[in-house]
Structure 1
Amino acid sequence: MHRLIIERLTHDLSVLSHAAKAAHEAAIHEENIPDNKYDTLSLEASYVAQGQANRAQELKHALQTYRHLALHSFGEADTIRLTALVTLQDEEGTSKTFFIGPQEGGLKLHVDGEEILVITAASPLGSQLIGKSVGDEVEVGDTRYEIVDLC
């Protein structure tokens, strides 16, 4: 899981860096020099470039954090904390798996045909899971889930 997150962040950073560079070049290209005060193409491109550069910085920080992240081993008797892979099951038997990471909550990964969602300890679900064990329950909206696996 850890390796997949690093690979995904590295890929996303590469794509975003190229996009930011292209947006920056569009912002400063001579064809985009405004003809009048209503011509905002260059200004808009500079906003896009700045937004992409900001997101690239966030990704660089997240990538560095994940590269230095100490992974923990978990058994079924342990409590949930950072780097746990947690599987929840609802009353109908539907399972969902989450990785509790330090950043990049919302990142979706696919492992062996299963979707795994990265959440942070600060997220509503993450804060409910921290300190719980296999067999405990959490509530998400109107749905009650049982913690069925921890690794």
Structure 2
Amino acid sequence: MNKLTVYETITNALRQRFDTAVWAAKQAHDAATNEESVAENKYDTFGLEASYLAHGQSQRVLDCENDWRTFEKKGVVLFEEDDVVALWALVELNEVDKHVPYTKWFFISPCAGGLTVEQHHQSVFLVTPSSPVGKALIGKEEGDEICLRQNGLEVVYEITRVC
């Protein structure tokens, strides 16, 4: 898997998420400031609820912009063959004791944990260093085994590539 292409795909996904957040914030702001949002009696809370939503959407715009800008400014970080897993690493894992190898890809990211992007019909999962998967991967190197909990079961993976 080409790390530069994965990095660009992640950056584009974060930009799209930012654009969507901007659109949603505008919609929420329009709803909050619409003349139909004015309370007709003391029990009519539609306008108040719409203003809370608009505020929350504005916060989401800031968060999404920060995530996108973080990736846009950093640029791709390449790792050498003997490097340990660290922030900005793309990590390939293969399930141990499988007749048919099952591969998973993780990108160690400072933000946007939980985002998944597709690259060549393969999912790449963004994880932060503070997530359980991130904690299991940080500091490991190619050839190390890690245990990940999936659907209540412990699954053993071998790190087959750090780039």
The 2-side partners of 1:19 and 1:55 are apart by: 9
1:9 CA drift (Å): 1.2
Misfit runs of 4+, over 3 Å: none
Matched, 1:112 2:124: no
Q: Counterpart amino acid of 1:149? A: R
**Structure 2-normalised TM-score?**
0.86
Q: Which residue among 133, 137, 140 is the counterpart of 2:141?
A: 133
| Of 134-143 and 62-71, the range deviating more from structure 2 | 62-71
Which is further off, 113-122 or 71-80?
71-80
Any idea what SS the aligned residue of 2:85 has?
Answer: coil
Identity value in percent: 38
Alignment root-mean-square deviation, CA: 1.3
> 1:1-151 maps to which residues of 2 (within 5 A)?
1-91=6-96, 92=98, 93-141=101-149, 142-151=154-163
Structure 1: state its 5+ residue gaps. none
TM-score of the pair, normalised by structure 1: 0.93
Letter in 2 for 1:96: K
SS of 1:133's equivalent?
A: coil
Name the count of aligned residue pairs.
151
